[in-house]
Amino acid sequence: MRGLRKIEPYIPGDQPKFSKMIKINTNENAYPPSPKVKEALLNFDASQLRLYSSLDNYNLTSALGKRLKVDSDWITTANGSDDILALAFQSFFNSSDPIIFPDLTYGFYSVWCELFNIPYLELPLNDQFEFDFDKIPEKIGGIVLANPNAPTGLYKPVDQIEQILKKYHDVVVIVDEAYIEFGGQSMLPLLSKYDNLYITRTFSKDAALAGLRVGYGIGNPKLTGVIQAIKNSYNPYAVDSISEALAIAATEDYEYYQKINGEIAKTRDWFIIELNKLGFNTLPSLTNFVLTTHPQQSAEAIFNHLKKHQVFVRFFPNKERISNYLRISIGTKKEMTTVIDLLKAFMAENNGGTK
C-alpha cells in the first residue's frame, strides 16, 4: 500500500489488571480523587450530554484562573496534558532551527517532533542527570523542559529557568509542570514578565484524575491565540462536559489535594531513605516517583522479583543510560512498606549480587 505513515510511537507503562496488585509504574496518584469529584459525578445531569461541551470550557478555565491567580483567558484546556503539549509543539515550533530538550526526559517530546516534522536536539544530561543550560546552542527553535523532570524526578529552581527565558527571549520555552504540586515552585508568577513562557499542567498526577484526561496550558493571549487556532483546527471540544464538571470540582477542593499530596511527599522522602539503607542510589525527587539503581543488583532482577509479587514498577531496558534503573511511583505508606519488605527479602536472597 502506498502513502502509509511510519512512526515509532511513545510506549506508555503497562496497565495490568490484577485485583491485589501494587501499581506503581505510571506515576498515578496513590489516593482517590476528592470526594467532591464523586459528588459532581453523581449529580451530573445526563440530559446535558445532548449538547456539545462548551467551546472554551469557560467554567473550568474560570475555576482554574481563580485558583492559580491567572486571567482565565490565558488558559487553554485539552484532553490530558499530552494533548496540550502536542498542540503547543505544533503551535510554537515552526522554525528550521532545532528545539532543545534533554536526552532523558518525557519520551513523548521526541515522538511529537518526529510526528510533526520538528527538528530537535536532545542534549545529554550530565552524570548527575542535571541539565547544563550552558550547553544549549545559540540558534534554536525553542526549548521544552519538564520541571521537575521525568523520569529523573529532579527539579530546577525557578531563577535558573528564568535565565533561559531571558537569553532565548525570541523563542518559546515550554515548561511542563506535570509534577509541580509535589514540592517544586511553579513558574506561574513569571508569566506576565516573559512573553515566551508557556506552562502545561495536568489533572492526571496531583489531582488523582489520570482516567479523566484533562490537561491545560497557560500563556499570554498571543501564545494562547495560536494554540486555540490549532486546537480549533482539529478538535475544538477536546474536554467533554462530564470531565469539565469533575475537573472543576477537583480544582475547588485544593485543601483535599494539599493533604494527599503532602502525604505522598512524606512517603517519598521516607521511601528514599529506606531504599538507600538497602544500598540503592536514589536521585532526589520532588515528584510522586523516584529513579533508583543498585550498584550490586540488576534492575531487571529486582523488576522481575517485584512483578512476581504483583508489584509493578517501571523498567527501561532500552534506554541505555538508565537501563539499570527502576522508576518507582509513590503509593500509600502501606504499599511502599510492602515494597521495602519485598526488596529486603530480595537482598537477603541475593547477598552475593546478581549483576
Ligand X SMILES: Cc1ncc(COP(=O)(O)O)c(C=O)c1O
Residues in the site for ligand X, rule: CB under 6 A?
27, 80-82, 106, 146, 150, 176, 178, 202, 204, 210, 215
Question: Considering the complex, what minimum distance in angstroms separates the CB of residue 304 from ligand X?
Answer: 23
Question: Distance between CA 17 and CA 110 in Å, rounded?
Answer: 29
Q: Between 27 and 297, name the residue whose CB sits nearer to ligand X.
A: 27
CA dihedral 77, 118, 123, 131 (to 10 degrees): -20
Q: Between 330 and 343, name the residue whose CB sits nearer to ligand X.
A: 330
Question: Considering the complex, what minimum distance in angstroms separates the CB of residue 56 from ligand X?
Answer: 19
Q: Looking up cell 519538564, which residue turns up?
A: 146
Question: Considering the complex, what minimum distance in angstroms separates the CB of residue 259 from ligand X?
Answer: 22
Q: Between 217 and 297, name the residue whose CB sits nearer to ligand X.
A: 217
Q: Between 99 and 146, name the residue whose CB sits nearer to ligand X.
A: 146
Q: Between 141 and 217, name the residue whose CB sits nearer to ligand X.
A: 217
Q: Give the pairing of strands 311-312 and 142-146.
A: unpaired
Cell numbers given for 314: 517501571
Question: Considering the complex, what minimum distance in angstroms separates the CB of residue 283 from ligand X?
Answer: 15
Question: Considering the complex, what minimum distance in angstroms separates the CB of residue 247 from ligand X?
Answer: 11
Q: How far, in Å, are 99, 147, 149, 321 from residue 284 at the CA level?
A: 27, 13, 11, 17
Question: Considering the complex, what minimum distance in angstroms separates the CB of residue 176 from ligand X?
Answer: 5
What DSSP line would sit under 106-126, residue for residue? Answer: -THHHHHHHHHT--EEEEPP-
Helix (H, G, I), strand (E, B) or coil at 242: helix
What DSSP line would sit under 18-81, residue for residue? Answer: -TT-EE-SS---SSPPPHHHHHHHHT--GGGGGSPPPTT-HHHHHHHHHHHTS-GGGEEEESSH
* CB contact burial 134-157 (16+ within 10 A = b; e otherwise): eeeeeebbbbbbbbbbbbbbbbbe
Q: Between 164 and 239, name the residue whose CB sits nearer to ligand X.
A: 239
Q: How far, in Å, are 81, 82, 227, 237, 260 from residue 86 at the CA level?
A: 8, 6, 10, 16, 29
Beta strands in 285-350 (DSSP E): 289-293, 311-312, 314-315, 325-329
Q: Between 10 and 133, name the residue whose CB sits nearer to ligand X.
A: 10
- The letter for the amino acid at 322 is I
Q: Between 79 and 282, name the residue whose CB sits nearer to ligand X.
A: 79
Question: Considering the complex, what minimum distance in angstroms separates the CB of residue 354 from ligand X?
Answer: 30
Contacts of 23 (CB under 8 A, 6+ apart): 16, 312, 331
Q: Between 210 and 301, name the residue whose CB sits nearer to ligand X.
A: 210
Cell numbers given for 274: 529506606
CB 293 within 8 A of CB 305: no
H-helix or E-strand containing 193?
A: none
Question: Considering the complex, what minimum distance in angstroms separates the CB of residue 337 from ligand X?
Answer: 25
Question: Considering the complex, what minimum distance in angstroms separates the CB of residue 339 from ligand X?
Answer: 20
